[in-house]
Amino acid sequence: MTKVHTLKEQQELRLEISFDETIKVQLMTGTAEVFGCELLERKEYTFTSCKVPIFTWHGCTITITGECTNYIGEGVEMYKYLNTHTALENIRKKAREDSNLNGPRVLITGPPSCGKNSLSRILLNYAIRMGNSPLFVDLDPNQNEIGVPGTINVMPINKPIYPNEGYSLASPLSYFFGSINCSDNLDYYKILCQKLAQSIDERIELDEAARTSGIVVNTIGCIEKSGLDLLKFIIKTFGIEYVIVIGDERLSNMLSNLTLEPKKIKKEEEIKNEKEEENEIKKEKEEEKEKEKEKETKEIVEPKKVQIIQLKKSGGVVVIDEKERKTIRRILYKRYFYGITQNLKPSSMSTSWDGLGLFKIKYLEQAPEGALPFGKRSKLDPINVKRISPSSKLDFHIGAISFAKSTKKEDLLTTNIAGFIRITKIDEKRRRITYISPSSRALPSQIIIFGQLTWYSD
């Protein structure tokens, strides 16, 4: 069944596609976009189990094949989103003209189901359309847009985020938290955020496009006491200059007095890596010269207030409950192993567990700070991991393949991840593990780390 919808300028066709339902969309005339990505005329787009806003600035005709809930709304907030993009683009322009300046560091926050993911995509797609290559950081382990649930990630965005494809999973830098709730171990979560922020700073020093394009950070939806403290920690850790708050004036007020700490910014000629000199004497002289050069050219940036940008929630945002979130997580696991359009066929493989290093993160229940004596902190080790023996308890668990070069606990839990497997069977008699993997190649590492992540159904 095919329906034709005619949209006037600045209207939005909002589609709500039920789980496991599929529709096809075509732009017949005019111009339209989905999350800031332009639709191509007459191209057929397939959507499954999602909510899709099709916005037009100048009017268009859309055909929909298949059954879904749909209605036309006024996209009044898109003007404000565009204005926000324009302000960020002006900052990028200044960074391109002055090597002492960096592109904008933007964080998007707000209560659950306020449209953080949608706005992230819009700002990223608009940036791409202007020739930028921003870094996208997703710190939400519950419904991560880049990796599987239970991870935090960063990846460069250098091509449009197509509406029916999502983010490419080819080049993310991923850290494994192992749980969908930050509160399961806030200290460990903060450690991973610091590792990710350090990696971003290193990338920006070496990548001119990343330096001028900046970063966009998507956060968790919790803004209560512990969530607010965590949010402030993230803003400080990632050096956030601009905080976009969606649909919560109270939160905007609570963040209004945040300031950035002074930072030293190197000039462009300083950030180039010097090649290692074979002669030790020459190397020492080169290092001395470099230190003198840094003293002459570094400049201090005075503290400044974090700028708060208040935006309203789009009328197309739908509140989802925990049952729906659980279904979305299942879809995200399936997307990783089977592809966004289910066009991939993961490999089922079996291997001896001899030689494998299997570890599991332990999530200790920590006493709230209010329950501790004044000025005291919990002495529980936030990085707690133990070696485990294979058993049927691992069936259907998601395992992270670690790039760790040793089995020291700090190395195990603060090293980025190569990818993931799903355990399907443990044969204790034959000492073999059966698992599915997106790749038919041998595992890139023998170290596999487990948390609390399970996926029971396809």
Instruction: Reply yes or no on whether the pLDDT at 97 is more than 90.
Output: yes
Bridge partners of 56, per DSSP, are 11
Instruction: Reply yes or no on whether the pLDDT at 378 is more than 80.
Output: no
Q: What is the pLDDT of residue 191?
A: 94
CB 233 within 8 A of CB 139: no
Instruction: Reply yes or no on whether the pLDDT at 349 is more than 70.
Output: yes
Instruction: Reply yes or no on whether the pLDDT at 268 is more than 90.
Output: no
CA 419, CA 172: separation in Å to the nearest integer?
Answer: 10
Q: What is the pLDDT of residue 225?
A: 64
**In which element (H, E) is residue 216 found?**
strand 215-218
Which of 236-245, 289-298, 318-327, 347-356 has the lowest average pLDDT? 289-298
**Residue position matching structure tokens 């509406």:** 163
Q: What is the pLDDT of residue 403?
A: 93
> 446: closest CA among 377, 383, 373, 353?
353
CA 200, CA 1: separation in Å to the nearest integer?
Answer: 48
Q: What is the pLDDT of residue 269?
A: 43
**Residue position matching structure tokens 């049952």:** 323
Q: Is residue 71 very low, low, confident or very high in pLDDT (cuts 50, 70, 90)?
A: very high
Bridge partners of 447, per DSSP, are 357
Mean pLDDT is highest, among 220-234, 270-284, 306-320, 386-400, for 386-400
Per the document, the length of the chain is 458
Q: What mean pLDDT do residues 140-158 have? A: 93
Q: Is residue 279 very low, low, confident or very high in pLDDT (cuts 50, 70, 90)?
A: low
Q: What is the pLDDT of residue 296?
A: 42
**Taking the alpha carbons of 190, 267, 262, 81 in that order, is the dihedral positive or negative?**
negative
Higher-confidence position of 273 and 347: 347
Instruction: Reply yes or no on whether the pLDDT at 159 is more than 80.
Output: yes
Q: What is the pLDDT of residue 178?
A: 94
CB 434 within 8 A of CB 346: no
Higher-confidence position of 341 and 181: 181
Percentage above 70 pLDDT, the chain: 84
CA distances from 230 to 185, 214, 223, 304 (A): 12, 22, 9, 21
Give the tokens for residue 391.
């058993």
Return the DSSP state at 269: G
Instruction: Reply yes or no on whether the pLDDT at 454 is more than 90.
Output: yes
CA 258, CA 306: separation in Å to the nearest integer?
Answer: 6
Percentage above 90 pLDDT, the chain: 53
CA 310, CA 119: separation in Å to the nearest integer?
Answer: 13
Higher-confidence position of 30 and 314: 30
Q: Which residues belong to the annotated binding site for ATP?
A: 12, 51
**In which element (H, E) is residue 282 found?**
helix 280-297
pLDDT digits (tens, 9 = 90+) for 414-437: 999 999 999 999 998 888 999 999
Higher-confidence position of 30 and 276: 30
Pairing outcome for strands 242-246 and 385-387: unpaired
Q: Is residue 20 very low, low, confident or very high in pLDDT (cuts 50, 70, 90)?
A: confident
Q: Which residues belong to the annotated binding site?
A: 12, 51
CA 46, CA 48: separation in Å to the nearest integer?
Answer: 7
> 24: closest CA among 6, 46, 5, 42?
46
Q: What is the pLDDT of residue 299?
A: 41
Q: What mean pLDDT do residues 148-155 have? A: 95
Q: What mean pLDDT do residues 258-276 have? A: 52
Order the strands of the 22-30 sheet from edge to edge: 2-7, 60-65, 22-30, 44-48
Q: What is the pLDDT of residue 276?
A: 52
CB 454 within 8 A of CB 398: yes
